[in-house]
Copies of this chain bind each other. A is one copy, B any other.
């Protein structure tokens, strides 16, 4: 596998662009191929069987582009289907669960840790199981926060937005005084990090995409798979629905203004 092959990142939609942002900040010379399954988003409310079928198709698309590693930048996929990818390829595969669990455990002083995510992620108990595997005395409290995803996607992201504040209050108030660390177990959630912080001011927030990218960088360095080009890498964006409007979403998740073009694939239409 040549060092200048791209790193593949995918997500059920565009939330995984947060991971693209983290990766290109940390490893600016890497080429990246991003696939967002916008034709079938969201995965978080769908069944395990369906999530696994879609994951297989998403990974096959990235593999067809000769990627040297895959990051499933989606809490739902990482919780329900990560081994579906390892079953079909020998390249390194990363999710957004294991490293976040470790980082949360290390950050917590009380070993009382909260987890928020989509319904499917919470139903899977994956973060809870990973933390309890590190320390079976750790206490893990979980809550599904399904409304956070549309709040981000429909633009309720302004600091001080009253609807987002109320949603944080509804979903998060029971964590207050109960945990000292919280895993934001869905790619969308760091976008409303400020509102989450206001609801839980003394709690350390863990961003799984950031943790996963750190681990991936380390693993590729160890395997001598990092780019040696010395030049800025290129990023290609693919989506399964109409690419129109991609720029606006890219602005939310990549934090970059300006026109960013996505290409259309037929992954979801196969």
Contacts and interface: CB of A to CB of B under 8 A. Distances in A.
A163 interface: yes
Contacts of A40: 39-40
Contacts of A166: 162-163, 166
Interface string A44-68: 0111111001000000000000000
A176 interface: no
A268 B27 CA distance: 38
Contacts of A146: 150, 153-154
A247 to B, nearest CB: 15
A15 B39 CA distance: 20
A241 interface: yes
Contacts of A151: 147
Q: Interface size for chain A: under 10, 10 to 19, 20 to 34, or 35 or more residues? A: 20 to 34
A166 B156 CA distance: 12
Interface string A123-150: 0000000000000000000000011011
A263 interface: no
17 contacts: A38-B46, A39-B40, A39-B46, A39-B50, A40-B40, A45-B153, A47-B242, A47-B244, A48-B242, A50-B268, A146-B153, A147-B150, A147-B154, A147-B163, A162-B166, A163-B163, A163-B167
